[in-house]
Structure 1
Amino acid sequence: MNLNTTQKELLNRWLNREADETDINAIKKDAELLAYIKISTATSQLQAPEFETEKAYVKLISKRNQPKVRKLFAYQNVFKYAAAITLVAGIYFLLQNKQNVIEVAYAQQTEVVLPDASEVRINAGSKLSFQKKNWNKNRLVQLKGEAYFKVSKGKKFTVKTPLGNVQVVGTQFNINQYDGLFEVECYEGKVDVSHNRQIVRLTPGKSVKLSPEGTLVISNIVREIPDWTTGVSDFEGSSLKDVLNELERQYNLKIDVEKDIDLEQKFTGSFNHDDLDLALKTICLPLKLSYHLTSDKKVTLHAQDKP
């Protein structure tokens, strides 16, 4: 595939971070140029796979000296030009706002190495952002979803979430901020957690969770690392609604629940991330529920005494 002079100039400006809004609009409308990005991404890996949006994202980001991102596993890939157009527009937005943003799709997990060598493992359906400029002076990360942090020693390290903030110096901790939840677990060092005017300090083996009443409640943890990083989602007295939301994230599926099922009933147990049928049985049997799974990964839950 040969690009004309105009297309080459557009591509060069894009890769050199010199593209303006007019250039970006032109790229979005140029199917041939988008196809070139697709082919060049595949051939650079010395094989001829179909276009994978996540890999193209990592390659393009690396050309802009962005942080190292390693995709740990994925169950689905997207190969459509429409996705590529969204990708192009999205990266441009990030550069314009001088923000590094990593969004993790359902059924995936991603590991990111920050500028100070701190490591972040991000769970499915989560979003993490930070500003690389002056990072060593202002180690600030914003998180929506769940992530496990291994923070290198240095100046104060802050994670902001919609429901509360976490501050550390050098430590290992997990934050879960899915669906109105806010829970922090400390595995090493000390962690300061704040919500509104409440502040608590966690030491290894301690966790704190935001209660429905809006207070921070401390409890103990016995595991050495978060279960989700080993391919397991674990629950203790969690609502069925929260359990099903996690199942949707880990398997990238849609779950419909009949109206007579109480989504606030509690579930204690766990499910693996590599066997959907077993995961559904693990959840449904203790709660006396039945399920129907279609070939397009849609699940319907109903009471066990119904057909």
Structure 2
Amino acid sequence: MSRFKFFDDNSTDHSTIQDELNRKTINDNTLTRYRSEQQIITKHSGNLASHGVLKHEYLLGIEKIDGGFNASITITDAYGSYEPELMKDLIQLGLLIDSVRHEQKFRLSENGKMKELLNKSEMIGNWMTLRTMQLKDNKLLRNFEKEEQKQILKEVNNYCDVVFSDNYPMLEELSKNLFHFTVFDKYLSKSDLIGKSNETTQFYSSMFNLPLTMEFEYQNFQEKDDSYVFEKNSKLLYVDYNTIIDIYRTQYQPVLHYAYTDYNYSISSKIEVDKASNFITQAYVTIEEAVKNNVESTIIYNLKQVKL
């Protein structure tokens, strides 16, 4: 069970379904536990500007069905810290909002990709509960002045009202989460893990809040006695460079003083899979985004299977 308890009163049927799924996946040996650590490092002209850490624990259930898989994710714990101190309140607020999605159910394709979110309506209901019960509490943003608290909560409420709505593409957003990006992939069907992916993937720039079109290639497959290892590396196919230059000149250059140089965004990952269970045992993902020599953002993501 997740430690996020305040939704349980409104979702007794959901809890029963989840318990039944957990029992089934345990019996079928298709349930596992993971812990992840994600570091977010920002540098300006080579000097550290900010550093954050996010830690999560998950239960992942996978069940093979005709034409694909059923999958469930339960976020059982979460923690975040950030420097400078002012950002810690925003990290905690973000984790609280993310708890709305602490239970997730998916239908996966034959290649292990997410194709349907099965309990979106429950997440929307959870958001309405959280919005009513907790987001009016000014204790959430203690490092901000009262007027700043009101403005931040107003913007958060407006944004989440859009995200947790019937028309919002929540499946697409979740697919960019590094846990989902790593565990839901074609290794689940033991497909050929060499060569380019047949699909392009859209990510978002954290520095410029713009979509990027990426292509991934599976490389350097290595087979061991009890496991196999492969790499999944990206190539940036498209981004609106003109908009990036405009945003850089407006937001970054007045602070950094240096003119725009060159932009790059890359994702590289190395993944080890246990042969017997077909679960990932450990994975490492690095996302690097930079305007060369001026501003850079690095995300270092470590995922490890732990005892159930």
Higher strand proportion: 2
Task: Specify if TM > 0.5.
Answer: no
Higher helix proportion: 2
Instruction: Report the TM-score when normalising by structure 2.
Output: 0.26
